[in-house]
Amino acid sequence: ADDSRHLIGVDLGESEFSGEVVNLRGEVRRSARIPLDGRDGDEAVELVHRLMDELVEANDTPLVGIGIGTPGIIDTVSGTVRWAVSLNWQDLPLGRLIRERNELPVYVANDSQAAALAEYIFGTDRRANNMAVIRVGRGIGAGLILNGELFQGDGFGAGEIGHVTVDPDGVPCRCGRRGCLETVASSRAMVEAAQRSIAEAPDSALGRLAAESGGTVTIDILARALAAGDEHALRIVDHASRQLGRSIAGLIGMLDVHRIALIGAATALGTPWLEQVQAEAARSALSLQTRRSVVEIGRVDPARAVVLGACAVLLTRELGLIPTR
Ligand SMILES: [Zn+2]
């Protein structure tokens, strides 16, 4: 019965578009991926169509529909991408375009919100009423589950904490302003800081690890330098994790949410990073609230979180089902 119908879940990620055909238990039946290679605008829309063609073709099981997780502010009612900076999409009727071409129900959701839903449904032991899931990758975005449902706010942008200013005199952000949280605390910000530090101190453990890998820093190299106790790596991660911790304290103060999961590329930094985030969050809000809040690294396979969340949105809207593990 689990294979009586299939779903398509899609993740329009920063470096590649990927998708899966899954059964009603979320098990993969077919998958496809296409590298983005810097394409945006109409070219990126063409890539979505190509990805759909690969997933839909040769599929002999009835499809419930298509769920899409994409960066940006998404009007989930109409399926319109209001604004996605990295893809250069503005007021793009993505849901309608995909629906007309494939003649299937299509739901479009913000990728962080979709990933949050996946973490809430598939990642928690006990079903909490409320949960905040913060995605710390090249950008930063949160998804909020309130009273058991995805909370989107008045303009669908709930959880867009990555572009809240934390340093008014900070560095320029890709949104056009300065000192946003993601210019300080994202994996991209940390990797760039590490790159600058290597230019100044090439003999550090961080510098040597990077040199062994051809001179380029990745989040994994930063993680290894951190684990080795490199002072430059410690300083970079300390600065970034403090800002993230303070933003989390803001969420705790405002929502009194007890379950907070961190997902995304930065989680590769592991315990040293997590502990700093936890400590700063605890220091920056009322202990009455923070001592009951658990900040932890998410449990859903990061490579599948957006796809599973997009499928969950589809199932909820189309069949009225809340999927279970
Ligand atoms: Zn910004």
Look at residue 66 in the predicted model and tell me its pLDDT.
96
Residue 176: DSSP 8-state: S
Cβ–Cβ under 8 Å, residues 223 and 190:
no
197 Cα to the center of ligand 1, angstroms: 23
Least confident of 125-139, 248-262, 299-313: 125-139
- For 60-73, how does the pLDDT look when each residue is reduced to its tens digit (9 = 90+)? 899 999 999 999 99
Assess whether pLDDT exceeds 50 at residue 159. Answer: yes
CA of 164 to the centre of ligand 1 (A): 7
Q: Name the 3-class secondary structure at 154.
A: coil
Q: How far is the CA of 133 from the centre of ligand 1 (A)?
A: 19
Distance CA 153, CA 155 (A): 6
Note the pLDDT tens digit of each residue in 182-226: 999 999 999 999 999 999 999 999 999 999 999 899 999 999 999
H or E element in which residue 12 lies: strand 6-12
Largest CA distance in the chain: 61
Whether 324 shows a pLDDT value over 50: the answer reads no
**Facing residues of 260 across strands?**
132, 295
Burial class of 4 by CB neighbour count within 10 A (0 to 12, 13 to 18, 19+): exposed
Q: Tell me how far the alpha carbon of residue 107 lies from the centroid of ligand 1, in angstroms.
A: 26
Q: Is the pLDDT of residue 322 over 60?
A: no
What's the CATH number for 125-297? 3.30.420.40
Ligand 1 centroid, distance to 91 Cα (angstroms): 19
Q: How far is the CA of 284 from the centre of ligand 1 (A)?
A: 23
Q: How far apart are CA 164 and CA 143, in angstroms?
A: 15
Rounded to the nearest angstrom, the distance between the alpha carbon of 25 and the centre of ligand 1 is: 37
Question: Which amino acid does the sequence have at 313?
Answer: V
> What's the CA-to-centroid distance between 247 and ligand 1, angstroms?
15
**Residue 30: how many CB atoms within 10 A of its CB?**
17
Residue (of 157, 91, 84, 111) closest to 19 by Cα position:
111
Cα 141 to ligand 1 centre (Å): 11
Q: Which residues are paired to 239 by β-bridges?
A: none
- Compute the distance from residue 15 Cα to the ligand 1 centre, in Å: 19
φ/ψ region of 232 (left if φ > 0, alpha if ψ in -120 to 50, else beta) reads alpha
Return the pLDDT at 24.
86
- Cα–ligand 1 centroid distance for 177 (angstroms): 6
Neighbours of 87 (CB within 10 A): 25
- Percent share of the chain, pLDDT over 90: 81
Answer yes or no: are the C-beta atoms of 185 and 240 closer than 8 Å. yes
Distance 71 CA to ligand 1 centre (A): 14
Whole-number Å distance, alpha carbon 179 to ligand 1 midpoint, is: 7
Residue 242's Cβ-count burial label (10 Å; 0-12, 13-18, 19+) is buried
Beta bridge partners of 295: 260
pLDDT greater than 60 at residue 323: no
pLDDT, residue 325, reads 37
Report the separation in Å between the CA atom of 163 and the middle of ligand 1, taken as the mean of its atom positions.
Answer: 4
Question: pLDDT tens for residues 257-302?
Answer: 999 999 999 999 999 999 999 999 999 999 888 888 999 999 998 8
Residue with tokens 């923070």: 290
CA of 240 to the centre of ligand 1 (A): 15
**18/32 Cα distance (integer angstroms):** 6
Whole-number Å distance between alpha carbons of 133 and 111: 12
Q: What pLDDT, on the 0 to 100 scale, is given for residue 1?
A: 63
- 158 CA distance to ligand 1 centroid (A)? 15
The rounded Å distance from CA 89 to ligand 1 centre is 16
pLDDT computed for residue 318 by the predictor: 80
Query: Which residues, in sequence order, are bridge partners of residue 165?
Result: 180
Helix (H) or strand (E) holding 238: helix 231-255
Domains 6-116+303-319 and 125-297 share a fold: yes
Q: Where are the domains of the chain?
A: 6-116+303-319, 125-297
162 Cα to the center of ligand 1, angstroms? 7
Query: How far, in Å, is the centroid of ligand 1 from the Cα of 53?
Result: 34
Which CATH architecture best describes the domain 6-116+303-319?
2-Layer Sandwich (3.30)
Q: How far is the CA of 178 from the centre of ligand 1 (A)?
A: 7
Q: What rounded mean pLDDT belongs to the chain? A: 92
Q: How far apart are the C-alpha atoms of 83 and 48, rounded to whole Å? A: 17
